Structure 1
Amino acid sequence: MPTPCKPPCTRPWKPACAATLLVLCGAGLAADNSTIPTFNCGTSPSVLNTGYNEAARAQIAPGQTDPQWFVSSTQAAYTPSTLPPSNASSTWGAAFVPNTISGAWAPSHGSGAVFVDAQGHPNAEWLSPRAVGTNHDRGPGGTAYAWPYPSPYTNFYRTQFYLAPGVAPGNVAIALRYYNDDRMRDVFVNGVRQTIPGGGFWTSAMQTTTLTGPWQTGLNTIVFAVQDVGWIAGFMAQAIPTATSICKVLPPRPSAVPTLQFTALLGLSGLLGALGYRRMCCRKN
């Protein structure tokens, strides 16, 4: 993984510096070609929405991959000691926005979309291990399919970000709501397991969670473990629209117009008065 960018300012870390950092180094390029954004207190949590291009304010097109979300699938039994693959594992692959979604899934686009922004525009999409929205192909002729599978799949969905220097890790909280096919097992924040509601894929099965860490300056990794007992597989998450920042407490904004001190004003007034007196004296002489 690349070394996190350092702020280009030598002064204490402020939003103005953060904006410069995002311009200069913004999204880093990971070894697996995923996009890793840099977060500060000015970052909207919706950057993490699945299947969503925050810069374009648009959903990612069906059949395309999400550059911020990767997926790794396994049929190994999921146990309390199960951990997601390491970041360097070759099992990670780009997560796809499916070409079509199951009719049983909560709708993600159009007028009926369950996840929308403040203006009512859909801002999240389902992701899946494959563009066809499944874990794997069916058997010959599409008939060799039995539910449930003796060994369910576990699909690990991963996203990453850099936390900018100067942002206190303890000040970060990311509130999300989500759907999954079939069942959420756990979420891992920098390798630390946290149990969250299992949820489901139908419209009324939405669940919420707030991730409060443990965060760290530099690279952070979030992995959702979703169990699938059938053939179709998916995961969709949206930052709760009322959350405008990843920070629980926003730093004070610097004043846009510098305020002159009273003593400085007196000094300036005295200087102007002295200059005027000198001009008058010069005219008399």
Structure 2
Amino acid sequence: MGNLDLPRPVDGMPQAYRGRLGALFLMAASIMGVMAAPASSSSNKGIAKVNTQYKGYATSFDDRRNACPGIKYSFKEPIAAVNSALFGNKKGTNLCGKYVKVSLRNKPSKTYTYKVVDICHGCDKNSIDLSKVGMRQFSKKSIEAIKWELVGSKPSTSKPKPKTTKTTTAVSKPTANGNGNKKVYRGRGTWFSDTTGSCGVRFSQSDMIVALNQEQMGAYSGSRSKCGDYIRVKAKGYSASVVVRVVDTCPTRYCKRGALDLSRAAFKKFAPMSKGVLELEWSFV
């Protein structure tokens, strides 16, 4: 910005007036300087820190959100998508191409490393999505309680030394239908098209999400809220089973007790959207 052409005090003006006028000139110059200064760019907020441990859940994904357009990948690889709260800025500093180290909460000594290739809008803060191949490295379930941390670059690996002592591994007994003692609910299943809901989070219809009926939803916040809970869903006449995350409420006039409103992606795991209505059986995970 060039020099300001401000009027000069008139010769012969009393000294007191000159002082006041000079102060006004300085104030005007200061204000104009601030207005002309370029706005500083906001720093990137919400990005995972290296070697900081996060506790959340791992689920699987098979759709592209295109948050890392410069990275080519295949769902046949062990890859990861990080929740939007810790992913960073899509157009600034983010986790694209970084690596995360993951372990089961009940088996923290065994770790697995995944390259970050995308964002997960439907994930809770501290949770991540893994490719099915990546998920199968440590679990056959569709959701697992995990711990993970950002390690930046891919850590070097070495072949483990062969064991010379005989060991035995205890095998836990499977629970019926994978639900254990979880209470099972039944009701109608429909689909919805919103991208924001009563839980206050944005989501995509390509995410595995659900709107829970108003009667069973409870409060929208606090310990009684079902926001962020996971539900395992089956449909009568279909062999598929999916796990969806509660992000919204389906009003009573549309969904009676036991009914669920599924995202398009979740509904299509069972049938085409033209089916309209499914008979569901579900339980909280």
- Which structure has the larger Rg? 2
Tell me if TM exceeds 0.5: no
TM-score by length of 2: 0.22
- Say which structure, 1 or 2, has more relative contact order (CA 8 Å, 6+ apart): 1
